[in-house]
Amino acid sequence: MKKIIITIVSLIIIANMVYSHDFHIGDQHTFWQFDVVKGSPDMEKGYYQSDFTCIREGEFTLVFLENNIKDSQLPSEDYINRLFNRFEQIFPLLSEYFGPPSDLDENGKFIILLADIRDWFYYELPTTDDMAPIQGYYWFPFNGMNNNDYLTMDTVQPLIDSYGTLAHEYFHNVYDHMNPEPVDFTDRAVNEALAHYAIYLNGTIDKDSYVQWQFSILKKDLEKGKLLNPFIGKMDYFDIENPDLHHCYAAGYLFMYYVSEELIKDATLKREFFNTLIYEEINASSLDKLTNALWHVGVIDD
């Protein structure tokens, strides 16, 4: 794990020495991708490269489509346009709340890759009823390895789900860029809670329904007297087969929602809270970050 973290920092230093790279429709580029099946449990074994073509260019957004993708996995033009147009709105909205993303290639734009994500469904492996295709992912080391800021979205998924995935994964870029060397690499409680809150801020879902959905994830465990604290740093957020993972996602989001919607009513203080979580106590544990931010906005005393 230390090797991975050191590599990330080294790549960022190298990336800052590289000239800017802008893209236009029709341009080809190779990006690092992740094979979920081959990368479990050793993530580096899942790293591979794939070629993409730029198909959309906007003020904030570049969309690339994976080359040689199967016809059955090709997204419709309507899907591509809606996804592209939505991210043109997400970018300034979330930047207002959380600050700007990194800009490794210095072109002022964020890249969305549309790919046939290599998960259990890609390989047509046996799955259980509670398993679903990976809708999208963001992996900070890839950005440094590629010297581009990007996330990957699966080409076939419900449009409304893709909007939330875009907001969630995009937030990770903002957070990871400012906290590239966390004290505990697996402690992502604040990172994931804010990424879930980004879905809420995105505004493409019914907010009350989203809160109820997150609560329903906890309900069965709560009825058994079980409630986990995701901010104490004992949850490995990279262990995607851990049955407690969704519990911690939901608990972290609901706590963040309660603080930002019920305890902090003032809009200026709310932004100070978010910015303190991201830009102060750099690389600290989730608990230390949260304690500092709550103290900063006066929710807790010394």
pLDDT, tens digit (0-9, with 9 covering 90-100), for 121-178: 999 999 888 788 999 999 999 999 999 999 999 998 988 899 999 999 999 999 999 9
CB count within 10 Å of CB 211 equals 16
Residues 209-216: contacts with CB within 8 Å, 24+ apart? 211/254, 211/257, 214/250, 214/253, 214/254, 214/257, 215/250, 215/254
Dist CA 302 CA 291 (whole Å): 10
What stretch of H or E contains 221? helix 207-223
Candidates 115, 226, 107; CA nearest to 169 is 115
pLDDT band at 240 (very low <50, low <70, confident <90, very high): confident
Instruction: Name 154's bridge partners.
Output: 115
Three-state SS at 291? helix
Measured in residues, the chain has a length of: 302
Dist CA 169 CA 115 (whole Å): 15
Percentage of residues in the chain with pLDDT exceeding 90? 78
pTM of the model: 0.90
Q: How many helices (H) and strands (E) are present in the chain, helices listed first? A: 9, 6
Dist CA 109 CA 192 (whole Å): 23
Tens digits of residue pLDDT in 42-96? 999 999 999 999 999 999 999 999 999 999 999 999 999 999 999 999 999 999 9
Task: Work out the average pLDDT over 4-21.
Answer: 47
Instruction: Report the mean per-residue pLDDT for the chain.
Output: 91
CATH of 1-181 among 3.30.2010.30, 3.50.50.60, 3.30.565.10, 3.40.50.720: 3.30.2010.30
CB count within 10 Å of CB 72 equals 8
Indicate where the chain has its CATH 3.30.2010.30 domain(s): 1-181
